[in-house]
Chains A and B, each alone.
Chain A
Amino acid sequence: MAKLSRDDVLKLARLARLELSKDEIELFQSELSEILNYVAQLQKVDTKGLKPTYQVTGLGNITRPDEIIDYGATQDQLLKNVPAVEDGLIKVKRVLG
C-alpha cells in the first residue's frame, strides 16, 4: 500500500480539528502508513455472507420514563468545569457568521 501523502495527513488533521507541526506531519505519514499496512491484512479474510457486529450484548433499544433524575449536582458544580460562563450560561464564540 502506498504511503500516506502530506496532503492526506493534513486533510485528516483538519477533519479531526488538530494542527500538526512539521515533524508531526512527517511522523504521522510514516507511522499511519505502517499501521494501515498492518491492518490491511483484514482485506484477505473471507467474510462472505457475514454481517458486521457493532455491539455484543444483543440488547435492543433500552428505554426509561422521560423523567428528571436528581444526580445531586448543583448548577454551580456543573458549571465549575466550564471554561467561560456568563449569567449561568456556557459562553462560546459566535457559531453562525
Chain B
Amino acid sequence: MWPSIADIASQVQSGKLHASDLVERALQKIHEKEDYKAIIATTEERARDRAKDIDSRLKKGQNVGRLAGVPFVAKDNFLVFGADTTAASNILKGFEAPYQSTAVERLEAEGAICIAKANLDAFGHGTSTENSDFFTTHNPHDKGRVPGGSSGGSAVAVVLGMVPFAIGTDTGGSLRQPANFSGCVGYKPTYGLVSRSGVIAMASSTDTVGPLARTVEDAALVLDVMAGKDEKDSTTIEREKAGYDIRHASYDIRGKKVGVIKEYMTKDVDANVRACIESAVAKLAQAGAQIKEVSIPTLKSALAAYYIVVPAEISSNLSRYDGQRYGYSYKNAKDLNDSYTKSRTIGFGYEAKRRIMIGTYVLSSGYYDAYYKQAQTVRTKLIQEFNQVFKIVDFLAGPVAPTTAFKIGENTNDPLKMYLADIMTVAANLTGIPAISLPAGKSDGLPIGLQLMAAERQDKSLLELAQASEELLA
C-alpha cells in the first residue's frame, strides 16, 4: 500500500523516491488488478513524460509542488490529456479533450500525475457502474457485487492500491456511495468549492467535484489543492482562509454537537448498517462529543425532489449531444432532424434515455409547475430545515446507504429500487452542504461507511471531525 500523500510528495522532493518509479508502480498495479475493470484507459505515455520532467526538474533543485510525483486516477468525466474522455458513454467514444479540467490542472500544477481514467455509470447516471456503456466494475471485497457509483472505478482504484487518490464527481452521492460500498473515504465538498470547468455536466445545480482517498488527511490535502474560485466556472465560491490541509491541526472532539438523523435510522435501513452507525456514534460520544437525535421531516421527500430536479437538468445538459460538433454522428441521415435523432438514439445508453425522458416530461408545458417548480420549492423547505438543525448541532451523522453493496444485476430491472440507493445522499446535493463517507466497519465482509455532514462552507471543520472519527473507529 501507499504511504500518505504528503509522505510520498516529500520523499519525491527529497530524492528518496522518483516520480518515474511511482508511475510504473501504479501502472503495474492497474495491470495486476485488471479483472476488477476499474479503469477505462491509461494515460501512460503522457504520465511517463510528466514523471520524467518532474524528476529532471528535481535534479535541478526545483520545487515541483505539494503533490510531487503522486499518481492519481480521474473519473472519465474529467477532461484530461493523454486518453479519450468518454464519460463511459458510447456517444463520446474517441473524444479527445482540447483542454483539461481545472481540477486536473490544479493537481498537476502541484506535481501530481494523472495515470488513468476510471469507469463510471455513463455520464454519472447510477449507483453501481452497471450503467457504464462499456463494462461493470467489481467490488474489491466481493467480485459478484457492485462497487457503488457513479465514481465506482475511482473508488476501486484507491481501495486496490492502484493509486494513493482518485478524483470523482458527486451529483447525488456519487463520491460517498462508492466510498461506502468499496471501503475508502469519499468527500463531497460544499457546492461550488471545486471548479466544474472541464467536467462533463450531469445536473448543474448539484454537480460537485471531490477526492476519494484512503484517509481523511489525504482527501483533505487533495481538496486543498483543488478548492477555490475559478474564472472558468462562475458558480465557484471563495475557499476558507485557513485552507483544508488538516495535517497539523489540533482538534478536540469534546463538546462538539453531533446530530443523528432520525429519518436515516428507520427500519428501512439494514439492521447491520444501523448497528454499525450506532456503534460509531457511541464511540464519538465516549470521546466527548454530544450526541442528539434530530429530525428533518422533509428528508422523506428529498429523493422525489432529486429525481425531478436532476433528470430535468440532465435532459437539458444532454441536449448538446446532437451529432454535429462532437461525439457520435450518424452518417446516413436524410436531414438535420434525422441526424440529431439517429445520433442520439444510437449514441445514448438506456439509462441516459430514461433520464432524458423523465426530464423532458417534468419540464414540459402543463407539468412544469406541478413537478419541477414544486420540487425546487420542496428543496427550499429542505434547506430551511437543515439550517434550523444546524442551529442546534454542529454536524450530522448517519449511514450513506440503506444496505451494503448489492449484487451485480440485483437491481437492474427495477429502476426505482436502484434510485432508492441514493436516498441518504441526495439531500447534501440539493442543499449544497458538504458531506463525507468514511469507513466505519464491516458486515459479512462488506464495508459500511459513516456519513458526516456540516453546514455549507464548513468543509474544514467537517474534515477535522471526520479525521477525529477515523481515529476513533480504527
Contacts and interface: CB of A to CB of B under 8 A. Distances in A.
Interface of A: 9, 12-13, 15-20, 24, 28, 31-32, 34-36, 38-43, 45, 47, 50-57, 59, 62, 64, 69, 71-73, 77-78, 80-84, 90, 92-95
A93 B350 CA distance: 27
Interface string B153-197: 000000000000000000000000000000000000001100000
A41 B304 contact: yes
Contact of B356 (A16, A36, A77): A16
Contacts of B456: 56
Interface string B227-255: 00001001101000000000000000000
A32 B358 contact: yes
Contact of A78 (B98, B235, B305, B327): B98
Contacts, number: 161
Given A17-B341, A56-B431, A81-B96, 14 more contacts: A12-B360, A15-B360, A16-B356, A17-B340, A47-B380, A53-B376, A54-B205, A56-B191, A56-B432, A71-B99, A83-B323, A90-B325, A93-B336, A93-B339
Contact of A50 (B322, B326, B380): B380
A56 B416 CA distance: 27
A40 to B, nearest CB: 8
Contact of B298 (A20, A38, A45, A78): A45
A81 B380 contact: no
20 contacts: A12-B361, A13-B357, A16-B315, A19-B345, A20-B345, A24-B350, A32-B354, A34-B416, A35-B307, A42-B371, A42-B375, A47-B374, A47-B381, A53-B376, A56-B192, A57-B235, A71-B98, A82-B325, A84-B329, A92-B324
A53 B405 CA distance: 33
**Closest 8 CB pairs between A and B?**
A56-B432, A83-B329, A52-B376, A62-B234, A81-B326, A93-B336, A73-B98, A47-B377
B308 A39 contact: yes
Nearest to B95: A81
Contact of A45 (B308, B378, B416): B378
A39 B377 CA distance: 14
Contacts of A69: 231
A35 B415 contact: yes
A42 B237 contact: no
A52 B377 contact: yes
B341 A19 contact: yes
Interface of B: 94-96, 98-99, 191-192, 205, 231, 234-235, 237, 298, 301, 304-305, 307-308, 315, 322-327, 329, 333, 335-342, 344-345, 348, 350, 353-354, 356-358, 360-362, 364, 370-371, 373-381, 383-384, 415-416, 419, 431-432, 456
Nearest to A55: B205
A57 to B, nearest CB: 5
A32 B234 contact: no
A13 B384 CA distance: 37
A86 B220 CA distance: 48
B95 to A, nearest CB: 6
Nearest to B331: A83
A51 B205 CA distance: 16
Contact of A16 (B96, B192, B326, B360): B360
A51 B377 contact: yes
B296 to A, nearest CB: 13
B191 A57 contact: yes
B364 to A, nearest CB: 7
A12 B308 contact: no
A15 B415 CA distance: 22
Contact of A39 (B237, B307, B344): B307
